[in-house]
Structures are given as structure tokens and as C-alpha cells.
Amino acid sequence: MKKETLSATTCFKSNLDIIKVGELLSNYLFGQLKFSGLEECIHEEVPAVYIDEMLMGLQVILDGDEENGYCLEIGFSPLASKNMQYNDEIAFAFFNRGFESYIRYLLMQLPDLTVQ
């Protein structure tokens, strides 16, 4: 199992641009930690931003646009866990036993977002 596969991804629609969506998520879910990196083009196909600080060892990435929708990915990734050691079985169980459902539930509570 590779590190980059351990993540929870939830997609949603919003009429807000990626910066405003990032601000909304930051304010409601991530303790006002700011999304940045739009100019870095971390995803070639779509605009993407990320929270530079890790949250409990996890990287947070938001990508997409108003037309096609957005996806919020929270997980172990090359950006976050270059030197991190973890147990694959424990990490896999964490992501598959409700974490993604919990993120989906939280996003459904936010104004201006329609979870798909």
C-alpha cells in the first residue's frame, strides 16, 4: 500500500471560487488555518490549494472550480509525510471506518456547499 492512496476525498459543488471555498472550509473546519499554493499548480489539470500545516499528520488539499465542482482530500501524501512512519493497517482502518463519512457530514453542514 502506498502512502498517496491513504486519503479521504469528498466532492461537492459551490458557486464560490476556490479561494472563497478555502476560506469557508478554513473558518468552519480547520481552525482558520489558511489554504495557499494556488500559484504552485500542484495539480496540473485543475486549480488546487492546500493547508501548509499538517493536521494530526494529515495533509489537506482542495481542488476544482465552480463549473466542475470541488474535492477536499485529507490524507497521507508526499507533501505531508516525507519522513513520517505509520502503520499501514491502522491508517487504512482509520480511513475506511468512518473518517470519510464524517468529513462528508461536516461539509453538508456548511452554507454555500452542496455535497455530491
Q: What is the pTM of this model?
A: 0.83
pLDDT tens per residue, range 24-47: 999 999 999 999 999 999 988 899
Q: At 53, phi and psi to the nearest 5?
A: -80, 140
Which domain range does residue 81 map to?
3-111
Q: Is residue 116 assigned to a domain?
A: no
pLDDT tens per residue, range 51-94: 999 888 789 999 999 999 999 999 876 554 555 556 667 777 77
Q: Is residue 80 assigned to a domain?
A: yes
Number of structural domains, the chain?
1
What type of residue is 104? R
Q: Is residue 71 assigned to a domain?
A: yes
